[in-house]
Amino acid sequence: MFRGRLVTVEGIDGSGKTTHIDHICACLRQQNISVIRTREPGGTELGEALREILIRRVDLAMDAETELLLMFSARMEHLRKLICPALENGTWVVIDRFIDATYAYQGGGRGVSMDRIRLLENWVLNGLTPDLTILLDLPIEISLARTNARKQASDRFELQDREFKNTVREAYLERARQNPERIRIVEASAEMSIVKRAISDILGSLIEQIHSQI
């Protein structure tokens, strides 16, 4: 039995993650690959309860490092209950946000020490790294226009100002510079068909690379 692959999708709000994750899962299933789709924070019963606190309970004041620890608590549960068993079973896992979101939002946006995040990453992920990360990049103006149009009320992160969002975007781009093999940047402001084609091509090369290793 071959191990499944871990694909993560990242990007600031309004980057079209949901639609593009639909496309990724459809592409994989077309190749007869069994795939589970999940999200962070969340993905398990406890993780979803933590998500509610982390994202929706804007009435609760929260220290940035408490926020960091709760993100990793949800992640530990997710890894133990869902991600690792699926990968071991040969199933691919596609996650709407994962470890790079923590570097971008808690590290970049909140200014928590990157070393502290790395420490938790080493403990909780224990060497697991996504096989592929698609970073849907978007200028802040377009992100703001799209999220304002959506008018999603009371999300702890969507409520942050432009400066926060800009720092998050920059931190994502820095992660991509540091991990050029794994993190592939896709211009999410392009026309939908162009974005989809770019994603299909990236997935196609990953599948080809896997086949050439067998």
Summarize as ranges the residues that interact with ligand TMP (CB under 6 A): 39-41, 55, 71, 96-97, 101-102, 105-106, 157
Smallest gap from residue 92 Cβ to ligand TMP (A): 19
What is the token pair recorded at 58? 């804007």
Structure tokens, 69: 């620890």
Helix axes 162-178, 140-150, angle to 10 degrees: 130
User: Which C-beta is closer to ligand TMP: that of 159 or that of 194?
Assistant: 159
Q: How many CB atoms lie within 10 A of CB 155?
A: 15
Q: Where are the alpha helices (DSSP H) in the chain?
A: 17-30, 45-51, 64-78, 84-88, 99-101, 114-125, 140-150, 162-178, 192-213
* DSSP string computed for 148-184: HHHT----TTTTS-HHHHHHHHHHHHHHHHH-TTTEE
Task: Render the burial of 81-99: b for 16+ CB within 10 Å, e for the rest.
Answer: ebbbebbeeebbbbbbbbb
Select 56 or 89, whichever has its Cβ closest to ligand TMP. Answer: 56
Least separation in angstroms between residue 181's CB and ligand TMP is: 22
Pick 108 or 211: Cβ nearer ligand TMP: 108
Closest distance to ligand TMP from the beta carbon of 35 (Å): 18
CB of 214 to ligand TMP, least distance (A): 32
Could you count the other beta carbons within 10 Å of the beta carbon of residue 14?
22
Query: Is 25 or 157 the residue whose CB approaches ligand TMP more closely?
Result: 157
The least distance separating ligand TMP from the CB of residue 123, rounded to whole angstroms, comes to: 15
The residue among 159 and 210 lying less far from ligand TMP, judged by its C-beta, is 159
